[in-house]
Amino acid sequence: MVNHAFQLVTKWSSIVLRRMSLRGQCYPLGHELFENCVTRVCEQNAQGGIGFVSKVIKCPNGDECVAPGTPFSATLDGEVYGNTVCEVLADGRVIFRYQQ
């Protein structure tokens, strides 16, 4: 996954604090964000870059987040599909398989 963020290094005394800046907020390494059914963790890679990495991706179903492979009911074009499942592809995209 591509992270569109940048690294902010703050020096305080002899301690170097590594933090991630995202949308005007700073987050420490290890911080988890959950939004749009995706859990992201602030991590540092081998090259020293810091960014949010997607760790757990679930599928949005209205106000709920459903684990991939778990059957649920979904409505598509007014039709109710009671055995819908979702799958998370290697690139992080979510696809739905609507089955009645």
Asked if residue 67 and residue 45 are part of one domain, the reply reads no
For the cut 80, the answer to whether the pLDDT of residue 18 exceeds it is no
| pLDDT at residue 24, as a whole number | 62
Asked if residue 76 and residue 41 are part of one domain, the reply reads no
Asked if residue 91 and residue 80 are part of one domain, the reply reads yes
In a domain, 1, yes or no: no
Q: How far is CA 26 from CA 12, 22, 82, 93, in A?
A: 15, 6, 42, 27
> What is the layout of strands, in order, in the sheet containing 79-88?
72-76, 79-88, 94-97
| pLDDT at residue 52, as a whole number | 84
Asked if residue 41 and residue 67 are part of one domain, the reply reads no
Condensed to tens digits (0 to 9), the pLDDT of residues 31-71 reads 898 988 999 998 888 888 888 888 999 989 888 999 999 99
Tell me which residue range forms the domain holding 43.
6-57
User: Model pTM?
Assistant: 0.63
| pLDDT at residue 10, as a whole number | 37
Condensed to tens digits (0 to 9), the pLDDT of residues 2-12 reads 444 434 443 33
| pLDDT at residue 61, as a whole number | 85
Residues 68, 87 contacting (CB under 8 angstroms):
yes
From 78, 57, 70, select the one nearest 97 (Cα to Cα). 70
| pLDDT at residue 81, as a whole number | 92
Percentage, residues of the chain above pLDDT 90 = 29
